[in-house]
Every structure is written in C-alpha cells, then in structure tokens.
Amino acid sequence: MTMHTATAQANPNIAFIKYWGNRDNDLRLPSNGSISMNLDGLFTRTTVSFQSSLPFDELIINGHEVPGKGLKRVSYILDLVREMSDVKVNAEVMSENNFPAGAGIASSAAAFAALALASSRAAGLTLSEAQCSRLARLGSGSASRSIPSGFVEWKMGAGDDDSVAVSIAPPEHWDLTDCVAIVSAAHKKTGSTEGHAIAATSPLQNARLEDTPRRLGICRNAILNKDFETFAHIIELDSDIMHSVMLTSNPPLMYWQAATVGIFHQVRSWRADGLPCAYTVDAGANVHVICLGGHAKELEKRLREIPGVSNVLVAGVGGAAKIVS
C-alpha cells in the first residue's frame, strides 16, 4: 500500500514591495507585483496525510483542532490537489509553527506554502516550483513568495498560471537581517483578505499601482547591486505608501500603534548616524527593521531598549520551501 503522506517546511517572508489589492479576489491575482525575502529560522512544518477512513478533512495547528473558516481555506487547496491527482480521499493536516502565534509574523504565508508543497507531494504529484507557487497563492497571496529561495519576486502575470513567484537572488547573495520589533501581540481586527478587498476604495490606490513598476525596478536593482542606501529608501517609501492606502480606505484601516511610529523616527535617526537599517510594516503594528547582517546585534539591543517593544525576533535570509520527510 502506498502511504499518501508528506511533510514540508516553509519560512514566512517579509515584503519589501508590498502586495495590497487584487484584480481577482477569488484567484488572488494581485493588482501589482511584489518583492520579499524569506525569514530564516522561522518556519511552519506541515504533514498532510490522505486517508480513506476520514469522514472530513481535519486541520490541527500547534496541537489544536481548527474548525470553520480556517479549515475551509485549507480544504480548498486540498480540493485542488484532489482534482489534479488520483487521490480523492480526505486528509489530516497537522501544522506546527516554531514562532509564537500572534507575534506579528504573518503565519499564512509559511502555512500555505508548506501546505501546497506537502499536499501535492502526499498526493503523488511532483509540481514545478512555479506550479507550487501558484497553488500556494490560491491559499494566501504572499504564500506564493515563500516557495522559491532567498530574495523573491511575485510577478503579476497575465492569469492564474503565470502569476507566480521566482527567486531573484539566493540567500547568500546579501547578508541582510530582519529584526522584528514586537509592539503588539494582540490579534489584529482586520485581516489581509478583507483589506485587499477594500484597497480600491482608497483614492490613493490607483496612484500607488501606477508607480509600482518604478518601485519594483528600484528595489530589484538595489538588491542585485547590494545598495543598502537605495534599498532603505525604497522599502520605507513602499511601506508608507501601502499604509497611506490603508489609512484612506473605506472603512479606514489603521494598523500602526504609537510605538510603531516611535520606531520609525528612531530607525531614521540611527540610519542618519551610520547604522544601516530601514523599516517596513505589514498588516499589523510590529516593525520589521532590516539591517546589514553585521549590525544586527547592535540593532536588536537598541530596539529592545525602546519602551513599548515587548520582544525582538531576529531572522536572516531563508531558503526555499522543502520536503522534510
């Protein structure tokens, strides 16, 4: 008897040029391309096991059974895998994160990347990196970027098949570190999926989209040339532009806390004084401060001294999603 089981592991990623808004919400076809780096050392590990005896799909995250919406989103990916393969039975999905839930690291990217890889392999499919990135994208847009290695670009693409992420440089290309300053462990009120759906209500979204090819080009080249000063300016600009859209959406989304803005000021003054660091923020209050690797210890120490910062997670550049058993 063949065992329809596989385990995969994937890192979360931090976006430097952000994904915000879809041209097709069901297919998660983004309104713009995006660029990110995978976060080494943080991961989700997921085992998918198709079993004929199961009456339903089952989802267990960090030892707890998850019903409802979370399960539905996972079953949607399992259904696609069942359509593509000869395996038609239900599955048990067991997932563990090695980073604290609600620590401000988006877990959906790592989760759906690991799920796409584990479930396709468990069903006996050997998907190309592009096909796997597409499958992950259908679960969570940013998950498409956690499939390839290192520094990654998710191309808008013309449609479902080619809206996928590719590696633009391997992890060893550039020694960057992400020091994530945790300012709020509270669960955010509005998730990304709802946020994407209202992005177009902001009068600023069109201007943001029109300018995105320019920012993508600057960011891609800054990474390829390891030009930290240019990189710092473009990632801060891109984060600020996305949050401007969020703040001016209907209803408005304000993810920043007072401490978030306090860190922006600190980061800019540290950079002006010679510490190579720059900030970027996803759909939450925590600040990802990216620095040249050699300065991570000093940066971490300074962030920990800021009132309102409860913890700092430190991650280098991570590799591709992979099968681990």
Reference 164, options 195, 184, 135; nearest CA is 135
**Residue placing its CB nearer to ligand DP6 in the complex, 113 or 169:** 113
Least separation in angstroms between residue 253's CB and ligand DP6 is 10
Specify the residue, 19 or 270, whose C-beta has the smaller distance to ligand DP6.
Answer: 19
Total residues contacting ligand DP6 by CB under 6 A comes to 16
Contact pick of 31, 140, 177, 286 for ligand DP6 (by CB under 6 A) = 140
Would you state the structure tokens that stand for residue 303, as one six-digit string? 């962030």
Residues in the chain: 325
Can residue 34 be called a binding residue for ligand DP6 (CB under 6 A)? Answer: yes
- Residue from 104, 141, 148, 171 touching ligand DP6 (CB under 6 A): that is 141
Q: How far is residue 109's CA from residue 224's CA, in Å, rounded to a whole number?
A: 24
Long-range own/partner contacts, residues 293-298 (CB < 8 A, 24 or more apart):
293/175, 293/176, 293/177, 294/175, 295/177, 296/177, 296/179
Q: Is 28 in the site for ligand DP6 (CB under 6 A)?
A: yes
Site string (250-289) toward ligand DP6, x via CB under 6 A: --------------------------------xx------
The residue (of 74 and 106) whose beta carbon lies closer to ligand DP6 is: 106
CB 48 within 8 A of CB 118: yes
Minimum distance from residue 188 beta carbon to ligand DP6 (Å): 11
What residues contact 135, with CB distance under 8 A and at least 6 apart? 77, 80, 81, 116, 120, 127
Residue 15, interface with ligand DP6 (CB under 6 A)? yes
Task: Please report how close the Cβ of residue 239 comes to ligand DP6 at its closest, in angstroms.
Answer: 9
Check binding of 19 to ligand DP6 (CB under 6 A).
yes
Contact region for ligand DP6 (CB under 6 A) — 86-94, 191-199, 209-217, 296-304?
Answer: 191-199
Cis peptide before 307 (omega within 30 of 0): no
Among 32, 108, 133, 212, binds ligand DP6 (CB under 6 A): 108
Piece of 136-144, 228-236, 258-266, 294-302 that binds ligand DP6 (CB under 6 A):
136-144
Task: State how far the Cα of 74 lies from the Cα of 92, in Å rounded to an integer.
Answer: 10
Phi, psi of 100 (to 5 degrees): -60, 135
Site stretch for ligand DP6 (CB under 6 A), options 77-85, 139-147, 216-224, 303-311:
139-147
The residue from 32, 142, 163, 177 that contacts ligand DP6 (CB under 6 A) is 142
CB-wise, 235 or 309, nearer to ligand DP6? Answer: 235
The reply on whether position 106 binds ligand DP6 by CB under 6 A is: yes
Q: Report the relative pairing of strands 287-292 and 165-169 from DSSP bridges.
A: unpaired
Alpha carbon 133 to its chain centroid, in Å, reads: 12
Hey, what's the torsion of the CAs at 38, 80, 29, 285, to 10 degrees?
A: -50
Whose Cβ is closer to ligand DP6: residue 87's or residue 156's?
156
Minimum Å gap between C-beta 272 and ligand DP6 is 27
**Minimum distance from residue 19 beta carbon to ligand DP6 (Å):** 3
Told to check if 192 binds ligand DP6 by CB under 6 A, we report yes
Applying CB under 6 A, the residues found at the interface with ligand DP6 are 15, 18-20, 28, 34, 106, 108, 140-142, 192-193, 196, 282-283
